[in-house]
Amino acid sequence: MEIVKSDFLISAASRAQYPAGDRPEVAFIGRSNVGKSSIINSLTNRKALARVSNTPGRTRLVNFFLINDSIHLVDLPGYGYAKVSKTERANLERIITEYFEHRRSLDKVILLVDSRHKPTPDDVGMYSYIRRMGIPCLVIGTKLDKLKRNEIRKNEKVIRETLGMHPEDRIIMYSSLSKENREAVLEETFQGLTEKAEAGEEASDQ
Ligand code: GTP
Ligand code: MG
């Protein structure tokens, strides 16, 4: 699917502010600074749809975007940033779990991990949390442009093994900078959702 239109909807501090309705929805989660906001910009071909910064912990609310007038992308706050206070960390955790526990229209989670490093215990915990919730999960190794060609396969294997990934879950290495593998990411991200969006529109027309 190609993205022809993308709009920012809302930065939600709590679930009362989440957009209503049952449009298909895909959420991006991962450690602070892993590249969640950047991937949303690179997939939508927008420079600053989602806010990117060198300061980890930039995204502190649940940001909703509307794609092609029919599908939601969600930029979640990052976890695992060491330099935030205990109170702030608890607050971020609350925002993330509130989203996962209450968002019924969530169809897919994209877990981002840094392609250069072994996933952290936080990453492992997040992957198993997503699996336990039974939501389809795609893993993306970010910052692929920083890897040497001969490291790609090896790092992919380390990520798979460390997360304990189920064989049916896919992993794609991606760079928001060079956009290498963008087609594969778009395909996996929106697979099954365009049909669901169309079915929803027909139902609401009647
Ligand atoms: P938080 O909102 O703090 O959780 O971070 P985030 O996961 O949204 O990360 P963000 O997209 O803000 O990117 C963090 C930093 O990594 C920025 O300096 C980006 O420019 C850089 N970055 C993101 N993706 C890539 C990539 O594919 N390649 C390279 N080289 N840098 C990247
Ligand atoms: Mg961000």
pLDDT, one tens digit per residue, over 100-110 is 999 989 999 99
What residue owns the CA closest to ligand 1's atom 5? Answer: 33
Residues with CB under 6 A from ligand 1: 30, 32-38, 52-54, 56-59, 78, 142-143, 145-146, 175-177
**What whole-number distance in Å separates Cα of residue 43 and Cα of residue 120?**
26
The protein residues having their C-beta less than 5 angstroms from ligand 2 (an ion) are 36-37, 58-59
Instruction: Give backbone dihedrals phi and psi of 32, rounded to 5 degrees, phi first.
Output: -55, 135
Give per-residue pLDDT as tens, 110-159: 999 999 999 999 999 999 999 999 999 999 999 999 999 999 999 999 99
Give which of 75, 192, 74, 185 is closest to 138, Cα–Cα.
185
User: Which atom of ligand 1 lies closest to the CA of 142?
Assistant: 27
Q: How would you classify the pairing of strands 25-30 and 171-173?
A: unpaired
Give which of 113, 169, 174 is closest to 147, Cα–Cα.
174
Q: Determine the pLDDT at residue 201.
A: 78
Burial of residue 170 (CB within 10 Å: 0-12, 13-18, 19+) is: middle
* Residue 59, pLDDT above cutoff 70: no
pLDDT band for position 88 (cuts 50, 70, 90): confident
**What whole-number distance in Å separates Cα of residue 60 and Cα of residue 109?**
18
CA of 37 to the centre of ligand 1 (A): 7
Widest Cα–Cα separation across the chain: 55
In 68-194, beta strands by DSSP E? 71-75, 106-114, 137-142, 171-173
The answer to whether the Cα torsion of 10, 15, 20, 24 is positive or negative is positive
Predicted structure pTM score = 0.95
- 3-class SS at 69? coil
Average pLDDT for 26-44 = 96
Q: What is the mean pLDDT of the chain?
A: 93
To test the pocket of ligand 1, the residue of 52, 59, 148 to mutate (highest count of ligand atoms within 8 Å of its CB) is 52
